Homo-oligomer: A and B are copies of this chain.
Amino acid sequence: MDAVTYELIKKSTETDARLGILHTPHGDIETPVFMPVGTQASVKTMTPEELKEIGAKIILSNTYHLYIRPGERIIEKAGGLHKFMHWDRAILTDSGGYQVFSLSNLRDIKEEGVTFKSHLDGSKHFFTPEKAVQIQNSLGADIIMCFDECLPYPCDKDYASLALKRTIRWAKRCKDTHKNIEKQSLFGIIQGGMYKDLRLQSVNEMTDMDFPGYSIGGLSIGEPKKIMYEVLDWITPVMPQNKPRYLMGVGSPDCLIEGAIRGIDMFDCVLPTRIARNGTVFTSHGKLVVRNAPYAEDFRPLDEECDCYACRNYSRAYIRHLFKANEILAARLATYHNIYFLVNLMKKIRKSIKGGTLLKLRDEFYLKYGYNKEDDE
């Protein structure tokens, strides 16, 4: 039996949205779910206890980063990633594919694998599908990812097709390598650029391999949002109903709603944590740059409709002061709030799927949040 299984609770009639439960070795997770990102075995600024308090059930960590530093051997020696970072809920690791293609400046792609240089010290490394899985086996996350080739945007069709076929061959090698199926589930990744036939081909060939879950890669990489939504509209209807669908790297509030509407079950993104550290927070009425001057004497909470720890106890004026004074607590409070905001949004999304009011939620959100189409692109 697979370590991770998906239980479909309810299929929306008004949209393609699904309500489900992801059963993992480290607990059950109601879906659709947002996964905060802990790139280097830490969700930036946060403790695991705070993430639990917020309601996070699963976090993502990055294989590439942990391989580079501290190295998967140390984490394995520590008893695995859960124990190393003191997190006893579920973890998902990516395969390193995305980072190899986005962070490393010198890389050489061959059928066997990819040679790349570390973004830290320029040292040379060679990743293969086998190695990506072995590293993830050492890390021990509940959900692990196939090693894939990530395309730039835009990308011509010939190359997209070539890369897609290689990604499928690599997925087979990943599956053959992965031995730890009772503790960790290996997900396949749907690629194919912004080309409908390639995306459909990818869905077909990946689902033929019968992975316990599928992620959708190669989106949110600079393309307009409407193109991302179009790609989702092509592929989620033909993806298996009994497997979870994970849209990689997506996390702006509007995209979470639009993704859920299109049948996505899992999301991850550094957006809430990254913008928090720059002094930007989500609010019910749109984004707010709390470090800006207008908030110097604004004694209201970050978001007047939020009941998170930061909003219950601190004013915009105080948090702005902390940002101006370079106090670490600034980043902590903004991060706490932003993750809370998204986790809470996912709760509202699940409630709306249950009640059949997801489209209403979307309309209200756009009206109130003051959505700008180009805002997060």
Q: Mark A68-108, 1 if CB is under 8 A from B, else 0.
A: 01100010011000001110000000000000000000000
The complex places the Cα of A85 from the Cα of B322 at a distance, in Å, of 10
Enumerate chain B residues within 8 angstroms of A325, measured Cβ to Cβ.
Answer: 40, 42, 65, 69-70
Interface membership of A328, Cβ < 8 A: yes
Give A92-126 interface residues, CB cut-off 8 Å to B: none
Give A305-344 interface residues, CB cut-off 8 Å to B: 313-315, 317-318, 320-322, 324-325, 327-329, 331-332
Binds B, one of A44-52, A130-138, A208-216: A44-52
Interface membership of A299, Cβ < 8 A: yes
Enumerate chain B residues within 8 angstroms of A331, measured Cβ to Cβ.
Answer: 328
Interface membership of A41, Cβ < 8 A: yes
Cβ 8 A contact of A318, one of B85, B297, B317: B85
A329 contacts B46, C-beta separation under 8 Å: yes
A70 contacts B324, C-beta separation under 8 Å: yes
Cβ 8 A contact of A42, one of B78, B85, B296, B327: B327
Enumerate chain B residues within 8 angstroms of A332, measured Cβ to Cβ.
Answer: 45, 47, 328, 332
Which of chain B's residues has its CB closest to A85's CB? B318
| Shortest CB distance A340–B (Å) | 15
Number of copies: 2
Enumerate chain B residues within 8 angstroms of A327, measured Cβ to Cβ.
Answer: 40, 42, 44
B42 contacts A299, C-beta separation under 8 Å: no
Which of chain B's residues has its CB closest to A320's CB? B70
| Shortest CB distance A77–B (Å) | 6
Enumerate chain B residues within 8 angstroms of A324, measured Cβ to Cβ.
Answer: 69-70
Cβ 8 A contact of A299, one of B46, B77, B85, B86: B77
The complex places the Cα of A317 from the Cα of B321 at a distance, in Å, of 34
Cβ 8 A contact of A78, one of B45, B77, B318: B318
A78 contacts B315, C-beta separation under 8 Å: yes
Enumerate chain B residues within 8 angstroms of A78, measured Cβ to Cβ.
Answer: 299, 315, 317-318
A317 contacts B70, C-beta separation under 8 Å: yes
A313 contacts B86, C-beta separation under 8 Å: yes
B40 contacts A328, C-beta separation under 8 Å: no
A77 contacts B297, C-beta separation under 8 Å: yes
| Shortest CB distance A51–B (Å) | 11
The complex places the Cα of A45 from the Cα of B329 at a distance, in Å, of 5
Q: A42-B329, A77-B297, A78-B299 are in contact. List 14 more A-B contacts (CB 8 A).
A: A40-B322, A40-B325, A41-B318, A41-B322, A42-B322, A45-B329, A45-B332, A70-B321, A77-B299, A78-B315, A78-B318, A84-B315, A84-B318, A86-B313
Which 10 A/B pairs are nearest by Cβ-Cβ distance? A40-B325, A70-B321, A45-B328, A86-B313, A42-B327, A42-B329, A84-B318, A328-B328, A86-B314, A78-B299
- 27 example contacts (A-B, Cβ-Cβ < 8 A) are as follows A40-B322, A40-B325, A41-B318, A41-B321, A42-B322, A42-B325, A42-B327, A44-B327, A45-B332, A47-B332, A65-B325, A70-B317, A70-B320, A70-B321, A70-B324, A70-B325, A74-B317, A74-B321, A77-B297, A78-B299, A84-B315, A84-B318, A85-B318, A328-B328, A328-B331, A328-B332, A332-B332
